[in-house]
Amino acid sequence: MGKTGSRPANRLVAEKSPYLLQHAYNPVDWHPWGAEAFQKAKSEGKLVFLSIGYSTCHWCHVMERESFEDEQVAALLNQHFVPVKVDREERPDIDHIYMTAVQALTGSGGWPLSVFLTPEGKPVTGGTYFPPEDRWGRPGMKTLLPRLAKLWSESRPEMEKAGEDLTGLLQEKSPGPAGQDLPSAEGLIAKAYQHFEQSFDPKHGGFGGAPKFPRSHEISLLLRYWKRTGEPRALEMAEFTLKSMALGGIYDHLGGGLHRYSTDERWLVPHFEKMLYDQAIIARTYIEAYQATGAEFYAGVARDILGYVLGEMTSSEGGFYSAEDADSEGEEGIFYVWRPEEVTRELGPHDGKIFNEFYGVDEAGNFESGASILHVTQSLEDFARSRGLTPESVKKILTEARPKLFKVRGKRIRPFKDDKILTAWNGLMITALAKASAALGDAAYAEAARKAAGFVLERMSHEGILLRRFRTGESAIPGFLEDYAMFASGLLDLYEATFEIRWIEEASRLCGRMIELFWDEQNGGFFSTPRGAETLIVRPKEYYDGAVPSGNSAAANLLLKLSRMAARPDYEKYAAKIFASNAAALSRHPVAHTEFLSTLDFAAGPGREILIAGNPQNDRFKRMNGILRQGFRPGDVLLHLDSGEGRSRLEALAPFVKAYPPAGGAGDEVRVYVCENHVCRGPVTREEDFRKEIGA
C-alpha cells in the first residue's frame, strides 16, 4: 500500500475513508469523487478513470502495489486521464451503477473495479484488476492507457455514443413498473428450495462448487421452509452446511468469527478478510438453528462470533467497525496459520501434539510455505477414542490451549482494521445481538446492542436524517436506503429483546422518513439514494440479495413487521408494492432474492402478535418471557403492555393495544394475549397454558 511520507500526498490525504487514505501517497494524482474531478475532465477534455474498491480487498492491494505505485502507470494516468478513487462501502450507489455497467460490458465484475467514464460520468469501457504489464492474455495498464487515450483523441464522438448507449441500457435495467402478478410465496420459496436441493454439496455442505461464501440468508430461508413444510431435508442441508463451516478453515477457531469465503469446496482455505456484515448475518442464522434444534453447538458458534465482534470490532463508544484485512506483513493469512513447532513450543510436547492432530497442523501444511490453517475433521469423541483418551481429557487440553495460542497470536502483526462505522452494517449487528440476547438469555448482548443503537442515533444522525459513515469523530454522507431499513429493523429487534419503548418509537419514525426520502411513487419500491441527493447517471434501485441483503428486502421486512406491531395496513400495502415491483425478477430467479423470500414467508404467515403484560423485573414475567424465546417461530412479533408511561407511548404507536388491559391484581401477575388473523384470544395467565397456546 501507499508509502506515507515517501512522496508528496495527493488529494486523498484529506479524506476519512481508510481505503482512500491507503492511496494518499500514490504517485497517481487521485481525486475523490465530486464535481471538481468531473469539471477538470470537462475543461481538459479527458476521460475519467474511476477506481472503486475497499480497504480490506486483497486484489485492490495487489493492483495498488503493481500499478498505482508504478511511476510509469501513474504518469500515463496523470497525463491522459482524471483519476478518481471511491470507497464502495461509503458510496454503494456509485459502486452499484458502475459495477452493473462493467457486468454488462464484460459479463463479470468484482473489486478492484476499473471504469473509464466520459466527463459526464457515462461509462465507455472497464474491467476489474489490471496489472501494469500485459499478462495472461489481457492488456496491462501500460498498454491499455495509451490505447484508450488515443481512441478518445481520435474517436471521441463514437466513444461518447458508446457511453450514451450503455447509460441507456443501465436506465432500462433499473426496475420499472410491476410487469406481472407475484406468484404465491409458497410457490416461490418451493422453487428456491428445489434449486438448493439440486445444487447442494452432500460431501462438504453449501451449494455449488468453489469458491463458497457463507450466504447465511440462504440457510435462514431453508430453516423457514422446514418450519413451513416440515421437510426434513431442508433442515438437514441447513445443519450440515452450518456444521461444515464451523469446523472448516473458514472459521477462526482461536478468535471466533468467519472469514470472507472459502477458496475451495471443503471450507478449508479461506480468503482471510473478516467483514462485519458476515459476522452479523451468520450469527443470526446460527441463533436460528439453535432455536430450531436446541443444539448447543449452534449457540456456542454464535457466542464465539459475537465475542469476536465485541472484543475486536467495537469502538469505545459502542459502534462496530467495518472489517479486518486478509493481509499482514504483505502476505495473506499469515496472522492466522500455524506450524507444529510453534504450537508445541507454547503448549508442550504432549498437549501440543493433541492440539496439532485435532486441528490438522502438520509438517506438510495445508497453506502456503508449509503452514497450516486450523480445522476439524473428526468429532471430539471419535478423536479421543482413536487415541485411547477420554473426550473430557481432550476437551480440557483444547479448552486450555486456545486462549494460550490466542495470546501468542496477538503478538503477531495484526491485519489492518477498517475502523469506519457504517449505519446499515451496525443495524445488522444490532439485530444479531438483540436476537442472541433473547434466545440465549444473555443481557450483555442487549446492552451492547443498546450502546450501538444509541451511538448511531446520537453521533450518526443530523436533524432526523441518518448519515452513512462515522470515523475519527466525523459523521458524513447522507444515509442510503439500506442504512434506514437495516438500522430501523435492528431497533425493532432490540425492542423485542428489551421491551424498551424508545426503540420501537425510533424505528417507526425512521420508517416514516424512509418512505418520505426513498419511495418511488411512480413504479413502487424504494430507490437506493434519497430524494435531493447528488444526481448520478441512474438513480439506482436494488433488489438482489448478495453478501448483504438488498435495501428493498430490508425495507419490506421493516414495513411488514411494523404493520403487524402497530396495526398499520398502509405499511403492508407499501411492502406489497415492493414485491410487485420486483415480481418479474423474483419469479425468474428466486434464489437471487433469498432475503426477499424470507420476508415473503413472514408476509404469508401464519404469524402471531403476542402481547405480554406484567412487570419485566418479576420472576414470573421472566419465566413467561423465557417461554416466548424458546423455539424457532419466525412469524411471531412481540409487544409489551406496560402499565406506566410506556403504555401511553405504545398506544400512541399502536392504538389497537388499548383494548388489552395491563396486568392487575397481584404484583407478579402476567397476562399474555395471542393474536392471529386480527383477532386476539383471551388472556393466558398460567405458564403451562401459555406453552400449549404457542406450541412451546
pLDDT tens profile 502-541: 999 999 999 999 999 999 999 999 999 999 999 999 999 9
What integer pLDDT is reported at residue 630 of this predicted model?
87
What 3-state class would DSSP assign to 331? strand
What integer pLDDT is reported at residue 678 of this predicted model?
77
User: 31-35, 168-172, 357-361: which range is least confident on average?
Assistant: 168-172
Please report the DSSP string for 509-545 in residue order.
HHHHHHHHHHB-TTT-SB-SS-TTPPP-SS-------
Selecting from 3.90.1150.10, 3.40.30.10, 3.30.420.40, 2.40.50.140, what CATH number does the domain 11-173 have? 3.40.30.10
Name the band, by pLDDT with cuts 50, 70 and 90, for residue 172.
confident
What integer pLDDT is reported at residue 679 of this predicted model?
83
Q: With 70 as the cut, is the pLDDT of residue 683 above it?
A: yes
Q: With 70 as the cut, is the pLDDT of residue 664 above it?
A: no
Name the band, by pLDDT with cuts 50, 70 and 90, for residue 179.
low
What integer pLDDT is reported at residue 354 of this predicted model?
98
Q: Which residue, 52, 49, 53, 51, is CA-closest to 77? A: 49
Q: With 90 as the cut, is the pLDDT of residue 381 above it?
A: yes
Name the band, by pLDDT with cuts 50, 70 and 90, for residue 1.
very low
Topology of 185-329+417-604 in CATH? Glycosyltransferase (1.50.10)
Instruction: Yes or no: say if 560 and 598 are a contact pair by the CB < 8 Å rule.
Output: no
d(CA 174, CA 156) in angstroms, rounded, equals 27
Instruction: Yes or no: say if 43 and 36 are a contact pair by the CB < 8 Å rule.
Output: no
pTM surpassing 0.85?
Answer: yes
Q: With 80 as the cut, is the pLDDT of residue 6 above it?
A: no
Instruction: Yes or no: say if 523 and 581 are a contact pair by the CB < 8 Å rule.
Output: yes
Q: Which residue, 274, 287, 267, 278, is CA-closest to 220? A: 287
Q: Which DSSP helix (H) or strand (E) runs through 279?
A: helix 276-293
pLDDT in tens, 611-644: 999 888 888 899 999 998 889 999 999 999 987 7
Taking the CA atoms of 456, 460, 464 and 465 in sequence, report the sign of the dihedral they define. negative
d(CA 500, CA 497) in angstroms, rounded, equals 8
What integer pLDDT is reported at residue 665 of this predicted model?
56
What's the helix, strand, coil split of the chain in %, to 5?
55, 15, 35
What integer pLDDT is reported at residue 176 of this predicted model?
56
Q: With 50 as the cut, is the pLDDT of residue 31 above it?
A: yes
Every domain range in the chain assigned CATH 3.40.30.10:
11-173
Name the band, by pLDDT with cuts 50, 70 and 90, for residue 696.
confident
Q: What is the mean pLDDT of the chain?
A: 94
pLDDT in tens, 544-602: 999 999 999 999 999 999 999 999 999 999 999 999 999 989 999 999 999 999 999 99
What integer pLDDT is reported at residue 2 of this predicted model?
45
Q: Which DSSP helix (H) or strand (E) runs through 350?
A: helix 349-358
Topology of 336-409 in CATH? Arc Repressor Mutant, subunit A (1.10.10)
d(CA 131, CA 111) in angstroms, rounded, equals 13
Instruction: Yes or no: say if 309 and 320 are a contact pair by the CB < 8 Å rule.
Output: yes
Average pLDDT over residues 61-68: 96
- DSSP assigned state of 480: P
What integer pLDDT is reported at residue 5 of this predicted model?
52
pLDDT in tens, 252-294: 999 999 999 999 999 999 999 999 999 999 999 999 999 999 9
CA Rg value for the chain: 26
Name the band, by pLDDT with cuts 50, 70 and 90, for residue 301.
very high
Domain at 608-694: CATH architecture: 3-Layer(aba) Sandwich (3.40)
Instruction: Yes or no: say if 185 and 583 are a contact pair by the CB < 8 Å rule.
Output: no
Q: With 70 as the cut, is the pLDDT of residue 177 above it?
A: no
Q: With 70 as the cut, is the pLDDT of residue 180 above it?
A: no
What integer pLDDT is reported at residue 390 of this predicted model?
96
What integer pLDDT is reported at residue 667 of this predicted model?
65
What 3-state class would DSSP assign to 352? helix
Every domain range in the chain assigned CATH 1.50.10.10:
185-329+417-604
Please report the DSSP string for 589-627 in residue order.
-GGG-HHHHHHHHHHHS--EEEEEES-TTSHHHHHHHHH
Every domain range in the chain assigned CATH 1.10.10:
336-409
